[in-house]
Amino acid sequence: MWGRIMDDRWTDSEGQAVLFRGQRGVFNGVRLVVETPEETLFSYRGANVTLPCHYHYEPALLSPRPVRIKWWKLSENGAPEQDVLVAIGLRHRSFGDYRGRVCLRQDREREVSLQIGDLRPEDYGRYRCEVIDGLEDESGLVELELRGVVFPYQHPQGRYLLNFREAQRACEEQDAVVASFEQLFRAWEEGLDWCNAGWLQDASVQYPVTLARQPCGGLGLAPGVRSYGPRHRRLHRYDVFCFSAALKGQVYYLDHPEKLTLAEAKEACQEDGARIAKVGQLFAAWKFRGLDRCDAGWLADGSARYPVVHPRPNCGPLEPGVRSFGFPDPRSRRYGVYCYRPR
């Protein structure tokens, strides 16, 4: 929800003032001004979010003028621009994956905000709001980020086996997307430390280091996000950093009288009205739902992991995280299972 306060500022859903930036176009002595928020907006997977956009004229016009509104998502890291919505009067048209999920919000005069429903991980990015008045047009940018968690991922057969397309597919299979540099940097600020280099969304290869050490670039380099720069998308092979947004469903450790093989684990979740959890879902449950369990369990990719929020004796290292036993023999009966039940 957005509320009006003084000086063309608005408040977000938490009551914080949101400053707006304005773009101005001049025609026939009248300025067309488009205003969008300066701050990045944050939301969650599955939520509904409004990207604010308003316009006015200077000096004010006595009678309304017909305008055309266009929203689109800007190109990111080589991906093409995406048309989102076009509106002329009462006629609106949405496009692609946004069809049926977006609408124009016009709660007050000359508001042309974009409302997006059922947010998806790939919805994050920069959106442009364009107002077209005859031959004149002005626009403003809105940046949307989703709350989520970044995690490193490698091929079941070992490190540095994924080219860029395979890395994208690997993240998608774990209910995630390839992380952006901004998402990895934010994760590093929150303490992510990982010595294996991984693909990012812009096809660069980087890794986050919070504690400099000899096997991880040497002691002479300061902590930070280390970069190998852009790599060849087909020929070069690394691990990948995935980004999983907050959950819509529930991840839980299934209470079962026996340890299970991977096939038995999948069947047990199905019998419980759920399905075996994916790696991204387990990380999101650990990060946002506080899932804390000292029992290793199978996941859909054939790995065995367990989430720890409160470190304790006989439960792995002394820092929070999702512990991994790698990819055990799927016939092994040494693990339980983590299930996922959608809402």
Q: Judge residue 284's burial from the number of C-beta atoms within 10 Å of its C-beta, 0-12 exposed, 13-18 middle, 19 or more buried.
A: buried
Query: Residue 246: its pLDDT value, please?
Result: 81
Query: Residue 11: its pLDDT value, please?
Result: 39
**Helix, strand, coil % in the chain, rounded to nearest 5:** 15, 40, 45
Tokens, residue 47: 């939520």
Query: Residue 79: its pLDDT value, please?
Result: 67
pLDDT digits (tens, 9 = 90+) for 188-221: 999 999 999 999 999 999 999 999 888 888 888 8
Query: Residue 5: its pLDDT value, please?
Result: 32
Collect the ranges in the chain with pLDDT lower than 50: 1-20, 26
Closest alpha carbon to 294 in 274, 280, 277, 310: 310
Q: Judge residue 216's burial from the number of C-beta atoms within 10 Å of its C-beta, 0-12 exposed, 13-18 middle, 19 or more buried.
A: middle
Burial 67-91 (b: 16+ CB within 10 A, else e): bebbbbbeebeeeeebebbbbeeee
Report CA-CA distances (Å) from 104 to 1, 35, 52, 108, 343: 14, 16, 10, 12, 27
Query: Residue 63: its pLDDT value, please?
Result: 80
Q: Is 124 helix (H, G, I), strand (E, B) or coil?
A: coil
Give the integer Cα–Cα distance in Å for 103 and 125: 18
Give 52's contacts (C-beta < 8 A, 6+ positions apart): 2, 10, 18, 20, 36, 37, 111, 113, 142
Find the Cα–Cα–Cα–Cα dihedral 172, 178, 179, 181, rounded to 10°. Answer: -170
Query: Residue 10: its pLDDT value, please?
Result: 40
pLDDT digits (tens, 9 = 90+) for 273-301: 999 999 999 999 999 999 999 999 999 99
Query: Residue 2: its pLDDT value, please?
Result: 39
Ranges of H-type helices in 130-261: 164-173, 181-189
Query: Residue 13: its pLDDT value, please?
Result: 40
Query: Residue 180: its pLDDT value, please?
Result: 92
Query: Residue 25: its pLDDT value, please?
Result: 52
